[in-house]
Amino acid sequence: DDLQKQVSEGKVRVDGGKDVLTMALGPEHPGRLRGVGAGISPRQYFNLPKPQRVSFDDRLKESLRVLLQEETKKMEAKAREEALRMEARTKQLVGAEREHFLSQLSQLIPNFDPNILKQRISQSPKNPMSSDKASCSGGDVRSLHVEDDNAKDEEKKEEKREEEKKEEKREEEKEEEKEKEDEEKHGDKVIEVGDYSNMEAPSSLKSLCRYVETTSLPEDKILEFKIDKEVFGSDRDTFLLPEDITQFAGMEEIGATVVAVYMRHLHDVLKQAKMCSMVGFIDPATVSANSGTVAERSRLVAARLQKTDGEQIFMMPYNPGRHWILLI
């Protein structure tokens, strides 16, 4: 007991065959215990387990396994950290680019509100009407849903087309009646242009209205425009009547041609600012309610989007009937 206490306190060292029992009984021979016979070692006497022999290859494999586990954990932690850093950096860059783009649009487009692009308002057009003229105030829709027809429902679609035609015919009659009433109430108010000095409009629009009053109306002239292929994906010629200009200036109902010409002007402004790669336009005359069936309009929109690189923001004016909305 005294020897064990000394060993536990570190005063006596136990090494090899020199264990506590040997020191207590005293050795008969070096490494042998008294009273058990010759050739008996402490491991045999105490029936200790035999030490397992581990080859060098096994030790090397175990060391490599542990090392690989540690390195794998380090790499996973580093990858997670890098992913979080890249995600934060990406969000920061996207936000900065978006703010820059909105600021550019605010400078280029009069009365442009950057907050309208941050809202997500979804509106599905229903009950299309025939007239492509509508008010241009208010109404901003930011979702675009492209519908596709199903060949199995041809019979139902044919019935739907017939209903649409009937609805269009009724709306045409209503539109004609409304135009007649407006003419009776206001006479030639829309066409005859008066004093533009007090009109709240850009000077260029005032000059255009004076040109209509002094030249276009007396000489019965129209304003011809050429829309290049890079604006809507295909080039075409179009024109504006004097009534289109006066209705636009007087905040009256406007048609798809006026909107298309204005979009061509926006494209020219973006081209000067070298921003055409960021914004694309879809011809309003191809997607309004009276421009064929829903399936045909959907195919036209899909064909227009397929010709781009996927990085542009597209603006598509749409008229479901008596009101213009902007799809982005």
Print the SS3 string covering 244-299.
HHHHHHCCCCECHHHHHHHHHHHHHHHHHCCCCCCEEECCHHHCCCCCCCHHHHHH
Phi, psi of 224 (to 5 degrees): -100, 140
Cα separation of 316 and 321, whole Å?
Answer: 15
∠ Cα 157 158 163 (to 5°): 95
Residue 254 β-bridge partners: 134
User: Residues 128, 266: one domain?
Assistant: yes
User: Residues 238, 304: one domain?
Assistant: yes
Residue 314 β-bridge partners: 280
Q: Domain containing 226: what range? A: 120-327
- The answer to whether residue 54 is domain-embedded is no
- Tally of CB atoms within 10 A around 151: 6
User: Residues 197, 132: one domain?
Assistant: yes
User: Residues 73, 139: one domain?
Assistant: no
Per-residue pLDDT of the chain in tens (328 residues, 90 and over written 9): 777 787 787 776 666 666 666 676 665 555 544 555 556 677 777 777 777 777 777 788 888 888 888 988 998 999 899 889 988 888 888 888 878 777 776 776 666 666 665 554 344 444 444 344 544 444 443 333 334 445 456 667 777 777 888 887 777 777 777 766 655 554 444 444 455 555 666 777 777 777 777 777 776 777 777 777 777 777 777 777 777 777 777 777 777 777 777 777 777 887 777 777 777 777 777 776 666 677 777 777 777 777 666 667 777 676 666 667 666 6
- The answer to whether residue 182 is domain-embedded is yes
User: Residues 147, 41: one domain?
Assistant: no
User: Residues 228, 238: one domain?
Assistant: yes
How many CA atoms within 13 Å lie on the side-chain side of 187? Answer: 4
Of 281, 277, 269, residue with least CA distance to 110: 269
User: Residues 30, 69: one domain?
Assistant: no
User: Residues 131, 69: one domain?
Assistant: no
Q: Which residues contact 158 (CB under 8 A, 6 or more apart)?
A: none
Looking at the 3D structure of the chain, how many domains does it have?
Answer: 3
Cα separation of 189 and 252, whole Å?
Answer: 11
User: Residues 187, 273: one domain?
Assistant: yes
CA Rg value for the chain: 43
Cα distances (Å, whole numbers) of residue 107 to 266, 270, 271: 12, 11, 14
User: Residues 274, 285: one domain?
Assistant: yes
